[in-house]
Amino acid sequence: MSLASSPAPLVAPPGATPRHVAIIMDGNRRWAQARGLPVALGHKAGAEAARRATEAAVEQGVEWLTLFAFSSENWLRPADEITGLMGLLRFYLRSEVAALVRDGVRLRVIGERARFGPELVREMERAEELTANGTRLNLTVAMSYGARAEILAAARAAAAAAAAGRLEPAGLDEAGFAAHLATAGMPDPDLIIRTSGEQRLSNFLLWQAAYAEFVFQDVLWPDFGAGHLADALQQYAQRERRYGARVG
């Protein structure tokens, strides 16, 4: 949905705010290419949009925000783009922590951290430690993340627990399995937003998205702002969530 002709108000209807919003941030490369700019500048603009989305989520009263920043498949991109992304990640991990602490945002990173190397892993851990007392928003950033790999790792962990005698397979339920996922302790997303006009999950939160509502917006991620989030929240407020149950 495009907001070009009718910008949404910056505040969603009261009492209708989803507890957990997840966003597939798509369109950095196309945004840069449309402007004749290097892809690196598209990613930089995308990082600024992530900041705006976080601030808007705090203002809207969202408790949990999960941003899909870098998929496990993104490692296949050109080496110079990967290098630029790692530098950008390092810069924002260092420069944004103070603002996150000030705004009461707790940061958590999920995904295959080891692939980023020890220096960036230390930066992630440092940012998580410094923001650990944030209570206004739980911000989760998915980095080198893929839902199929996450589910496979959880299955292996459950199998290992069963083999060690710590788990009775017949007693394993959905909640017990979810405890092995990277998102353990987090509520499932109520609303998933994807930008750039694409309409697919792209291996994001496949287990957790079972009953999520979806909003697809025809805006490239670097142009995403508070109005786009408010528009998505308004659409969510108009949905009737049934969780598979028949009504009427």
Question: Has 30 been labeled as part of a binding site?
Answer: yes
> Is residue 242 domain-resident?
no
The average pLDDT across 225-234 equals 96
137-145 vs 64-71, strand pairing mode: parallel
Q: Which residues are paired to 108 by β-bridges?
A: 140
- Note the pLDDT of residue 37: 97
Q: Assign residue 90 the CATH number of its domain.
A: 3.40.1180.10
Q: Can you give the residue range of the structural domain that contains 199?
A: 20-145+189-237
Q: Over the chain, what is the mean pLDDT? A: 92
* Helix extents (H) in the chain: 28-34, 39-60, 79-95, 97-102, 118-130, 147-163, 174-178, 226-237
The average pLDDT across 195-206 equals 97
Q: pLDDT tens-digit profile of 67-120?
A: 999 999 999 999 999 999 999 999 999 999 999 999 999 999 999 999 999 999
- Note the pLDDT of residue 5: 35
Q: How big is the CA angle at 25 (ends 209 and 69), to the nearest 5 degrees?
A: 85
Q: pLDDT tens-digit profile of 127-173?
A: 999 999 999 999 999 999 999 999 999 999 999 999 999 999 999 99
Looking at per-residue pLDDT, the higher value among 5 and 85 belongs to: 85
Q: How far is Cα 188 from Cα 212, in angstroms, rounded to an integer? A: 8
- The active-site residue out of 74, 103, 203, 223 is 74
> Is residue 6 domain-resident?
no
| CA separation, residue 45 to residues 51, 168, 188 (Å) | 10, 49, 28
Question: Has 148 been labeled as part of a binding site?
Answer: no
- Note the pLDDT of residue 16: 78
- Note the pLDDT of residue 7: 45
> Is residue 215 domain-resident?
yes
- Note the pLDDT of residue 13: 52
> Is residue 83 domain-resident?
yes
Tokens encoding 210: 């079972």
- Note the pLDDT of residue 194: 98
- Note the pLDDT of residue 12: 47
20-24 vs 64-71, strand pairing mode: parallel
- The active-site residue out of 26, 138, 190, 231 is 26
- Note the pLDDT of residue 242: 73
| CA separation, residue 232 to residues 22, 39, 98, 243 (Å) | 11, 27, 28, 20
> Is residue 173 domain-resident?
no
> Is residue 157 domain-resident?
no
- Note the pLDDT of residue 190: 97
> Is residue 158 domain-resident?
no
The average pLDDT across 30-51 equals 96
* 231 noted as active-site residue: no
* 138 noted as active-site residue: no
Question: Has 27 been labeled as part of a binding site?
Answer: yes
Q: CB atoms < 10 A from the CB of 162, how many?
A: 15
Confidence check: pLDDT of 1 > 90: no
| CA separation, residue 145 to residues 104, 151, 171, 179, 224 (Å) | 25, 11, 29, 17, 22
pTM of the model: 0.90
Question: Has 88 been labeled as part of a binding site?
Answer: no
Question: Has 108 been labeled as part of a binding site?
Answer: no
> Are the C-beta atoms of 102 and 132 separated by less than 8 Å?
no
Q: How far is Cα 158 from Cα 176, in angstroms, rounded to an integer? A: 9
> How many domains does the chain fold into?
1
